[in-house]
Every structure is written in structure tokens, then in C-alpha cells.
Amino acid sequence: MADMGDMRGRVALVMGGGAGTGRATALAFAREGARVAIADINEEGARETLSLVEELGAEGLAVRADMASGADIQATLARVRERFGSLHMVSNNAALGAPNKPLTEITEQEYDRCMGVTLRGVWLCMKYQLPLIEASGGGAIVNIASVSGLRGEALQSAYAAAKGGVITLSKAAAVEYAKRGVRVNTVCPGGINSGGMAFYLDKMPAELRQKTLDAHAMGRLAEPGEIADAVVYLCSARASFITGHDLVVDGGVLVRSNVIDL
Ligand SMILES: NC(=O)c1ccc[n+]([C@@H]2O[C@H](COP(=O)([O-])OP(=O)(O)OC[C@H]3O[C@@H](n4cnc5c(N)ncnc54)[C@H](O)[C@@H]3O)[C@@H](O)[C@H]2O)c1
């Protein structure tokens, strides 16, 4: 892909960087010359991503952290500050869905757990990341939302609501920090060919699996690197006037017609 401008000397953090899109994002930052901290609830996954980052010749750091825990996020940022002295670019990528169920059947615990990671977790991350980025001279945050947060999703009401919240939360943060040197945007993916999605796809009957692919005008899911490229672009100097934007990267899910199927 195109050179995103000089990210050498810049410090990036990927929350949920131990697999899938988060791992691809960590690697994309490393290719642009950034130093990359990888935080994940799965410490082994974070360490594996770190090895891949180091294979690219970049410097990195792996931390175990739960995005639903303010204490873990603060500890992660302390490690980043101690190791690199600053923070400029963040992707808040981890999320948790609720089981596929009608709204009336989701339990209060399932709803709270989904919200706790997917929406409150992004708020917690930004609460503690924004002051450090500002103190580092400015930078950018990209929160990973979803097309589900723009149009709703049957049987995934809690997840859709959480992702819709991530989009408006990011716009609010963008306004608060617009004159303070921190840009805040979201990327809204359609289906991604990640471990998380494979878990659901593998269990689906063949017909439903095909329907899932066909929901994308391009007839396929995104590769994690295609989402990562959008994240790195929004963090780069080339996106210097973009803030409060929700960038849809969905292979045509939202524009696909249900009437005329090409
Ligand atoms: N996969 C899709 O089809 C799809 C579609 C639209 C949006 N998204 C969004 O894209 C993002 C990445 O999805 P993915 O499919 O690449 O994920 P994934 O399941 O492949 O990887 C997610 C990573 O986050 C980590 N994680 C989970 N809970 C965490 C927590 N509480 N704290 C810290 N780390 C945690 C996991 O250990 C894993 O390493 C998510 O925000 C997801 O909602 C995914």
C-alpha cells in the first residue's frame, strides 16, 4: 500500500491486538515505521503479534489487558509511557457481542457484558488515552465500530446499540479534542475474515454462509488487512483534516440493493 507519511518515531497502541483485525493493524503500523504496543485479554495472542511486529524490524510491547477494566487500561498506558515515553495513535479494536437472540430474550447480564466491553470499554480507553496523546503533542484515535451500528442488526440488538454508541461517542470526543490536537474517527466494517467471524461462519448451514457473503456487494468478506489499512490511513498525516467521521469499509453492504441482485 501507499506510504502513509512518516510514522517513524511515532507510538501506536492496539487494544485487542492479539488476533484478527487488531493483529493486522499492529502489523500495518509496524510497516509504516511506528513503534507498536499490543494489548489483549489473551496475553499469548498479544505476544504472538509482538513477535510478528519484531520480525518486521519494528519495536513493540505486549501487555495483558481487559478493555472492560479501567485499572488494566491505566496499567497498559503506564507501561507504554515507561517504555516509549509517549503515545500518538490508537486503535480501540476489541469488542464482545451478545448471543444471537431476540431482544426480549437477551438476559440483563448478556446485555451488560456486551455494553461493558464494546461501548463502555471504548469510553474507558479514550478517558485514559486522550490526556496521554495530548501530552505527547497530539495524534489520532480510531475506534472500530460496525455497519451494525449504522443500520441495526436483527438478533444482535445489544451489539448494534453498542456500536452505534461507539460512533456517537467518537464524534463527541472528536469535538472535545478538535482544537487540542487529537483527531477521533471510527471505521465501520462489514464482515471481516477474522477468527471471530470464522467462529460463527463455520457453524452456519452452507446456504446461510453464502447469504452472509452475498450481503456484501463484492460477494466476499474483508481481509483483516483491508480494515487495518483504513485505520492506519485515518491515523496518518494524510488524514489531517478528518475528525468525527465514520468511515464505512464494508465491500458494499450498505449500498447493496435487495431488489436488483447483480
Ligand atoms: N469480524 C467481523 O465480521 C466484524 C464485522 C464488523 C465489525 N467488527 C469489529 O471489528 C473488531 C475486530 O473484530 P475481529 O473479528 O477482528 O476480532 P477477533 O475476534 O478476530 O479478535 C479480537 C481480539 O480482541 C481480543 N479481546 C476480546 N475481548 C477483549 C477484551 N475485553 N479486552 C481486550 N482484548 C479483548 C481477543 O482476545 C482478540 O485477540 C471488533 O470491534 C468487531 O466488533 C468485526
Residue among 70, 73, 55, 97 at smallest CA distance from 13? 73
Catalytic-residue membership of 159: yes
Give the phi and the psi of residue 67 in degrees, each rounded to 5: -65, -15
Query: How wide is the angle at C-alpha 13 spanned by C-alphas 8 and 18, nearest 5°?
Result: 120
Beta strands 35-40 and 11-15 are parallel
What is the Å distance from ligand 1's center to 95 Cα? 5
Q: What are the distances in angstroms from CA 66 to CA 18, 40, 74, 117, 212?
A: 12, 7, 11, 8, 30
What is the Å distance from ligand 1's center to 196 Cα? 7
Residues with CB under 6 A from ligand 1: 16, 18-22, 40-42, 45, 65-68, 93-96, 117, 144, 146, 189, 191-192, 194-197, 224
Query: 231-262 pLDDT, tens per residue?
Result: 999 999 999 999 999 999 999 999 998 888 78
Query: How wide is the angle at C-alpha 136 spanned by C-alphas 132 and 137, nearest 5°?
Result: 125
What's the whole-model pTM score?
0.97
Query: 151-166 pLDDT, tens per residue?
Result: 999 999 999 999 999 9
75, with CB counted inside 10 A (0-12, 13-18, 19+), is: middle
How much of the chain exceeds pLDDT 90, in percent? 92
User: How many CB atoms are closer than 10 A to CB 221?
Assistant: 22
Rg over CA atoms, the chain: 18
Half-sphere exposure at residue 175, Cβ-oriented, CA atoms within 13 angstroms: 5
pLDDT-based confidence at residue 47 (cuts at 50, 70, 90): very high
Give residue 44's pLDDT. 98
Q: What residue's CA is closest to ligand 1, atom 25?
A: 16
Can you tell me whether residue 184 is helix, strand or coil?
strand
What is the Å distance from ligand 1's center to 262 Cα? 31
Can you tell me whether residue 186 is helix, strand or coil?
strand
Ligand 1 atom nearest residue 224's Cα = 16
Domain boundaries, the chain: 11-193+223-249
Query: 194-237 pLDDT, tens per residue?
Result: 988 888 888 889 999 999 999 999 999 999 999 999 999 999 99
The DSSP call for residue 187 is: E
* Marked catalytic residue, from 111, 159, 177, 233: 159
What is the Å distance from ligand 1's center to 62 Cα? 17
Residue that has been written with the C-alpha cell 500500500 in this structure: 1
- Of 41, 47, 77, 153, the one to substitute when testing ligand 1's pocket (max ligand atoms within 8 A of C-beta) is 41
Instruction: Look at 201 and 50; give whichever has higher pLDDT.
Output: 50
Can you tell me whether residue 245 is helix, strand or coil?
coil
How far is the C-alpha of 146 from the C-alpha of 152, rounded, in Å? 10
Sequence letter at residue 212: T
Fold of the domain built from segment(s) 11-193+223-249:
Rossmann fold (3.40.50)
Ligand 1 atom nearest residue 189's Cα = 6
Locate the DSSP E strands across 109-159: 139-144
- Of 146, 200, 218, the one to substitute when testing ligand 1's pocket (max ligand atoms within 8 A of C-beta) is 146
- Of 25, 194, 231, the one to substitute when testing ligand 1's pocket (max ligand atoms within 8 A of C-beta) is 194
What is the Å distance from ligand 1's center to 18 Cα? 9
Give residue 11's pLDDT. 98
